[in-house]
Chain A
Amino acid sequence: MYAEIGHFALILAWLTALAQAVLPMVGAVRGDTALMAFGRSAAQVQAILIIFAFGLLMACFGLADFSVELVAEHAALNQPLAYRLAATWGNHEGSMLLWVLILALFGAGIGRFGDNLPPSLQARVLSIQAMISVAFLAFSLFTSNPFSRLSPAPLDGAELNPLLQDPGLVFHPPLLYLGYVGFSVTFSFAVAALLEGRADAAWARWMRPWVLAAWIPLTCGIALGSFWAYYELGWGGWWFWDPVENASLMPWLLGTALLHSAIVTEKRQALAGWTILLAILAFSLSLIGTFLVRSGILTSVHAFAVDPERGVFILAMIIGSTGTALGLFAWRAPLLKSGALFSGVSREAGLTLNNLFLMAVTAVVFLGTFYPVIMEAVSPADKISVGPPYYNLVFVPLSVPLLLLVTVGPMLAWKRDGLGRVGAKLKWPLLATLALAAGLVALFGLAKTVAALGLALGFWLILGGALVLARRWQGAAGLSLRLVRTTPAAVFGMALAHAGLGVTVAGISTMSGFAESKILVMREGETAALATMKVTLDRVGEAQGPNYQAFQAHFTVREKSLFGADSVRNLDSERRFFPVSRNQTTEAGIGTSLLGNSYIAIGDQQNGPRGPGLVVRIYHHPLVGWIWFGGLMMAMGGAASLADRRFRIGAPLRAPARSAGPLLAPAE
């Protein structure tokens, strides 16, 4: 019964979205306030209906109703309830429903919190939002209905892939989706601006919180995904340049660019066309990335050709949204007057450079990700894949100048600045960084130059974050408490995010230069040494989990500490066998500390030269935690920025008055 009600709610939501797509747009064109206001209520109704449908699907999973096909395929009775519920979005159909759920929530958010927007802009944004909704709901209803029944119903279901039965999965996809779908709002804002022919400072200020609202969860989602891969896949890698990962990285890179270009549009009314293009591209990449990967055009887990209907639908959706938006951009954007001029050395110029680098980095990731598809289309006999060597070769050289620039940018004055003045502000930080770089190279030796320079770069970024606050707080007579008190949250946000980037860079550099590993066959009682660690295999044994059997190995890890006594801890490493799906997973034993992790994964029992033993892989991962902690800091910086009260009060009153006439009004 639940399934049918859920299905019905979804159909109603689709019809609501259809009305919401048409009526507010008509209202905006005709200036009919009643029709425009309809968008707001329709958005709420649509959200309530989809929440209801999603809740019912979750109930089907919770009650283990195997007469629902989706439940039978992805849940099993002996699976813990939390994972059975999480399985709701651990599959294609359910995750599509999560997608439309988040889309509807964002739509309702614009309806609810968008009261400061001009009614016609809000109506247009809601209408475009609803068009996306119509397409996705139709995709869900007609090609991937989550509520399909199965007859006869099996007594027990197949379970969720055990790799995904992990707390990481419970939060990872929803966070990523919040990011992907969040960019739909900025996309709608961009298209609405093109339709209205108006992209000014006020527009950028209205849009910016939504950029942050998408960027923050996306940042968390990527960091969490990387962390999940680290502890669950069992060999201690934290980034694989896998198409799926790239699909999340590309919108993040463009979202970061958008975040910065929107500042320029907001403060200086410049780069409006560019900001619009970025907003369109960020969402398009979310779409292209998510679906092409999911549909198997790149990975062969689910073949596209097996279900051409879905593939064609997806492609049509991409053409419909991105194609229309880019066409609109080509037609309308030249009509937007370009904004205020700025000199080659200025905050605007710095942010433009930031954008160009981010765009270039995105382009090389895009090329690497889709090269196999393009190659195969051109010459069908070649099946290739692009791996880490390519990305290391192109990603690193493009990122380093960008990262160097991060600390310089905030020191630049708006509109016009001089190299001499900036140099004076940055003299001491620069000298400190160079001294640190030289010291590190001397300490680690020439062979580790790259890692040493990377660490220094991280230091430069963290210093840059601190410098933002230091300069802000420095009054005429030293540190001014009044200035500390009046510092806007956004400034804290910027400092935190830039420093977080530095923490991540320091983590990545140390990991790439100093991570060590060892594979050996160990017997009970034996001890192995690696880096500063001594690892003893105490005993092996078996254990029974709720829906798996585990083979466990217990280790004692003694690690030399920089300060006094050695640290001693016990780590358990497991291999789990899930009988229902006949899958195995690795649960590595990980000992975390501020300075690095010890990571132990176990393999098969094997006959070594000294008799039977257990294959053990030991890793020493210095500063690896910094990679994710830096990501968290960036997200917190974004959150601080989002909390800035500037976004909650009206549009700036001074800015339009200062400029001579409407700078970004259509030229016609």
Chain B
Amino acid sequence: MNRIVFLAPVIAFIALVGFFGIGLTKDPKELPSQLIDRPLPTFDLPGIAAAPGGGPGLASVTLKGEPALLNIFASWCAACPQEHPVLTRISAEGFPVYGIAWKDKPQDSRDWLTKWGNPYRATAADENGRTAIDLGVTGVPETFIVDKAGRVRFKQIGPISPEQWEATIKPLMAKLRAEA
């Protein structure tokens, strides 16, 4: 009985080392999304209106029926212009790209799209950032890959690089298209 008391610290320590050992194998920079394989949270946002092709607005149901990319951006975001040509290319290759302008004045978003060109099928304005909270957005740009059923399959934090598009995201889109 007494022996067990003295062994307790060792046992607790072994368990702890086990956890640390598992922790060692993880990349602490990776931030998984809670939404993977779950339906996209429902939202119905107003559009940024007058932008060329800005469209009337965007609701989560719009993203059902066909695999699509949902890109969160902002006119004030420094990394967004860097990602912009990639999005333009994705759009030109025939994949639907939707945009949500996060915490941005619609006028600023419109000016930004006029300046750089508009890759989005529809662009919504999330001025107060409420929808972004539902989506678990940690910053801009971020991109969600949504499948036919409207479920989130992948989340990209930070800009999509051309290499990433070719190597991981494009094959994923092709796979999602092939899914029944």
Contacts and interface: CB of A to CB of B under 8 A. Distances in A.
A and B: interacting chains:
yes
B9 to A, nearest CB: 5
Nearest to A331: B6
| 5 nearest CB pairs, A to B | A377-B22, A300-B28, A305-B27, A326-B10, A330-B6
Interface of A: 273, 277, 280-281, 292, 296-300, 303-305, 308, 311-312, 315, 318-319, 322-323, 326-327, 329-330, 333-334, 370, 373-374, 376-377, 380-383
A304 B25 CA distance: 8
Interface residues of B, number: 26
Contacts of B21: 315
Contacts of A277: 9
Given A329-B6, A330-B10, A377 B17 contact: no
B26 A326 contact: no
Nearest to B3: A334
B19 to A, nearest CB: 5
B24 interface: yes
B34 A322 contact: no
B29 interface: yes
B32 interface: yes
A376 B26 contact: yes
Contact of A380 (B3, B31, B32): B32
A381 B16 CA distance: 20
Nearest to B8: A330
A305 B28 contact: yes
Most chain A CB within a 10 A radius of its CB, from B19, B26, B28: B28
B17 A373 contact: no
Contacts of B19: 370, 373-374, 377
Given A308-B24, A376-B22, 6 more contacts: A297-B23, A298-B28, A303-B28, A304-B28, A322-B13, A333-B6
Contacts of A322: 13
Given A326-B9, A327-B10, A380 B26 contact: yes
Given A308-B24, A312-B24, A334-B2, A300 B9 contact: no
Contacts of B3: 330, 334
A381 B17 contact: no
Interface of B: 2-3, 6-7, 9-10, 13-14, 16-29, 31-32, 34, 36
Nearest to A332: B6
A297 B25 CA distance: 9
Contacts of B18: 377
20 contacts: A292-B20, A296-B28, A297-B23, A297-B24, A297-B28, A298-B28, A303-B27, A303-B28, A303-B29, A305-B25, A312-B24, A315-B21, A330-B3, A330-B10, A334-B2, A370-B16, A376-B26, A377-B19, A381-B34, A381-B36
A584 to B, nearest CB: 16
A311 B13 contact: no
B81 to A, nearest CB: 19
A470 B88 CA distance: 81
A373 B9 contact: no
Contacts of B7: 330
Given A299-B28, A300-B29, A377 B23 contact: yes
A449 to B, nearest CB: 34
B100 to A, nearest CB: 23
B13 A376 contact: no
Contacts of A334: 2-3, 6
A292 B28 CA distance: 12
A410 to B, nearest CB: 30
B32 A381 contact: yes
A323 B36 contact: no
Contacts of A318: 17, 20
B3, B6, B14 pick with most chain A CB within 10 angstroms: B6
B6 A305 contact: no
B45 to A, nearest CB: 27
A315 B20 contact: yes
